[in-house]
Chains A and B, each alone.
Chain A
């Protein structure tokens, strides 16, 4: 009763610009999300109905049997039939509720006959998407600039829900989502798709989605995964299958181009420019934009003598990570060019003027032979 009452009061009090789906679970754009939404509404109204009866009886008693109105206490304290009734009735309601819930759950668990497989890997604090069998893979990072977070510039419409590269999926096709993690447990969630699944390191979870309408759907990591848990959004761009095919072909082409770049000799400035971008999206959240880090968990890179003295150690750390610490292995996250660029950048930025350019070819050799 209170629930309806509050909802009613609050929604009456506010203007009509407050859309229903900002208050309630979104209906979503898949068959499963619709079913989940209707389960949610059914159980909600059941609760409201029980609430009306229970709170009605409670408040009736509170007003009717006040001593100040001369109520005398009667002395009944048992009624087995009544007790059995109010135990059996909720039990039956629950059984009735369990049946559609079971049916929906079985659909959600049926990952067979997928048209496309996408591997989703959680990393502190970004998502990596890999189209299995298509040789297309990329990472998806938060695109909201730091200045908006710190309040130094106005917040954009999709504040914290925008990424540099969204996951592109075809509409109308069954896409199997395979989830895992490189470090801690993350959870990949897009409310409009009603997919939320934990990405557990060392294990692969399965889920699936068949999107009905083209559009951009936003969500975020749902499982606490460290300091930037709030800053790893998920954006899915659903497009018509022909558009998806051409996008995929374009990405394959770009990947091939990038592979060519590995063999040529890169100039220091070129690597620095590229490295600065990579550093800002990947490294700056822990090691800070100025390379000062936040010790003890995240060591400073600026003026880090161990790192500057030994380029091999530096490369090894970035490629393979440091086991037992928060430093992940980047061998599969970044390609050879990006790795070379970011390492070069770290060895030359913030007064680390070693003048060394680490060539992509040198890195490629290392990451191709594990």
Chain B
């Protein structure tokens, strides 16, 4: 699971190693990546909202 999160984080960041990428695409399951991706997107929104409301204080 941690590997999946790492890979999704790499996708958000926009940088990934070729070897790691190959591994994800041969062994990983697409569905898991999509679900984790959506959850992380929601977390990103939450984080931004948090930062914005703290800054607005």
A and B in direct contact, judged by CB atoms within 8 A: yes
Residues of A contacting B14 in the complex (Cβ-Cβ under 8 angstroms): 87
Kindly supply a per-residue 1/0 record for chain B positions 1-20, scoring 1 wherever the CB is within 8 Å of any chain A CB and 0 otherwise: 00000000000011111100
Q: Is A84 an interface residue (CB 8 A)?
A: yes
Report which of A80, A83, A87, A106 forms a contact with B56, defined as CB distance below 8 A: A106
Interface residues in B41-56 (C-beta closer than 8 Å to A) = 55-56
Q: Is A102 an interface residue (CB 8 A)?
A: yes
Q: Is A365 an interface residue (CB 8 A)?
A: no
Residues of A contacting B15 in the complex (Cβ-Cβ under 8 angstroms): 80, 83-84, 87
Report which of B13, B18, B55 forms a contact with A78, defined as CB distance below 8 A: B18
**Contact A78–B17 (Cβ < 8 Å):** yes
In the bound assembly, the distance between CA atoms of A48 and B20 in angstroms comes to 36
Q: How far is the CB of B53 from chain A (nearest CB, A)?
A: 12
Total interface residues on B, CB under 8 Å, equals 8
Instruction: Output the residue of B15, B16, B56 with the most chain A CB within 10 A.
Output: B15
Known: A102-B55, A106-B56. A87 touches B13 (CB 8 A): yes
Interface size on A, as a range, is under 10
Residues of B contacting A78 in the complex (Cβ-Cβ under 8 angstroms): 17-18
Q: Which residue of A lies closest to B18 (CB)?
A: A78
**Contact A80–B55 (Cβ < 8 Å):** no
Kindly supply a per-residue 1/0 record for chain A positions 67-95, scoring 1 wherever the CB is within 8 Å of any chain B CB and 0 otherwise: 00000000000101001100100000000
Q: How far is the CB of B45 from chain A (nearest CB, A)?
A: 17
Residues of B contacting A83 in the complex (Cβ-Cβ under 8 angstroms): 15
In the bound assembly, the distance between CA atoms of A106 and B13 in angstroms comes to 29
Residues of A contacting B17 in the complex (Cβ-Cβ under 8 angstroms): 78, 80
In the bound assembly, the distance between CA atoms of A83 and B16 in angstroms comes to 9
Q: How far is the CB of A91 from chain B (nearest CB, A)?
A: 9
Q: Which residue of A lies closest to B52 (CB)?
A: A102
In the bound assembly, the distance between CA atoms of A80 and B55 in angstroms comes to 33
Residues of B contacting A106 in the complex (Cβ-Cβ under 8 angstroms): 55-56
Q: How far is the CB of A96 from chain B (nearest CB, A)?
A: 14
In the bound assembly, the distance between CA atoms of A80 and B16 in angstroms comes to 7
In the bound assembly, the distance between CA atoms of A84 and B10 in angstroms comes to 10
Q: How far is the CB of B27 from chain A (nearest CB, A)?
A: 20
Residues of B contacting A80 in the complex (Cβ-Cβ under 8 angstroms): 15-17
Kindly supply a per-residue 1/0 record for chain B positions 21-45, scoring 1 wherever the CB is within 8 Å of any chain A CB and 0 otherwise: 0000000000000000000000000
Q: Which residue of A lies closest to B16 (CB)?
A: A80
Q: How far is the CB of B47 from chain A (nearest CB, A)?
A: 14
Q: Which residue of A lies closest to B17 (CB)?
A: A80
In the bound assembly, the distance between CA atoms of A83 and B17 in angstroms comes to 10
Interface residues in A34-89 (C-beta closer than 8 Å to B) = 78, 80, 83-84, 87
Interface residues in A103-120 (C-beta closer than 8 Å to B) = 106
Residues of B contacting A102 in the complex (Cβ-Cβ under 8 angstroms): 55
In the bound assembly, the distance between CA atoms of A154 and B15 in angstroms comes to 61
Q: Which residue of A lies closest to B13 (CB)?
A: A87
Q: How far is the CB of A82 from chain B (nearest CB, A)?
A: 9
Supplied contacts A78-B17, A87-B13, 11 more A-B pairs, CB within 8 Å:
A78-B18, A80-B15, A80-B16, A80-B17, A83-B15, A84-B15, A87-B14, A87-B15, A102-B55, A106-B55, A106-B56
13 A-B pairs with C-beta separation under 8 A: A78-B17, A78-B18, A80-B15, A80-B16, A80-B17, A83-B15, A84-B15, A87-B13, A87-B14, A87-B15, A102-B55, A106-B55, A106-B56
- List of 10 A-B pairs having minimum Cβ-Cβ separation, nearest first: A83-B15, A80-B17, A102-B55, A78-B18, A87-B15, A84-B15, A87-B13, A87-B14, A80-B15, A106-B56
